[in-house]
Structure 1
């Protein structure tokens, strides 16, 4: 009863393996999908990269540092 579904799954797995190895052509993610993207940019030389100042970086999380404490007020619930 389960012989045919198992056989079909094995055949599909073999086909997927062969397709990923490139038997049916290159994979979809093998190359650039938009090769003319750089040519379509408007004024790419206007882009300026600047370092983040200390004032701008004050609200950024420090990687590997402790998590910031939330500024909330607590009170006892009435019984």
Structure 2
């Protein structure tokens, strides 16, 4: 019983080895999925990174902070 288990594990390892060597075709991580994506960009050197100002940071959500309360006025419904 143990011999069969060892033989099956050995064959599974050999199959994984030849699969990673490319016998069944290239692996999904072999290359870029969109190799021409960078070539299709229009003026990539025009992109500029600017620091976030205090006024613009006021609109950003604070991660881990309390949820802001919504400015909703509530009143009792007439019956």
Give the TM-score of the pair, scaled to structure 1: 0.60
Could you say which residue in structure 1 is the equivalent of 2:78? 78
CA distance in 2: counterparts of 1:26 and 1:35, whole angstroms: 15
After superposition, the C-alpha distances for 1:16-60 in whole angstroms (9 at most, x for unaligned) are: xx6xx64632333x1212212222222111110001111112111
Could you say which residue in structure 2 is the equivalent of 1:59? 59
Could you say which residue in structure 2 is the equivalent of 1:6? none
CA distance in 1: counterparts of 2:58 and 2:46, whole angstroms: 27
1:69 aligned to 2:69? Answer: yes
Pairwise CA RMSD of aligned residues?
Answer: 2.0
After TM superposition, the runs of 4+ consecutive aligned structure 1 residues lying more than 4 A away are none
Could you say which residue in structure 1 is the equivalent of 2:37? 37
Unmatched 5+ stretches in structure 2: 1-15
Q: Secondary structure at the match of 2:34?
A: coil
Larger Rg: 2
Unmatched 5+ stretches in structure 1: 1-17
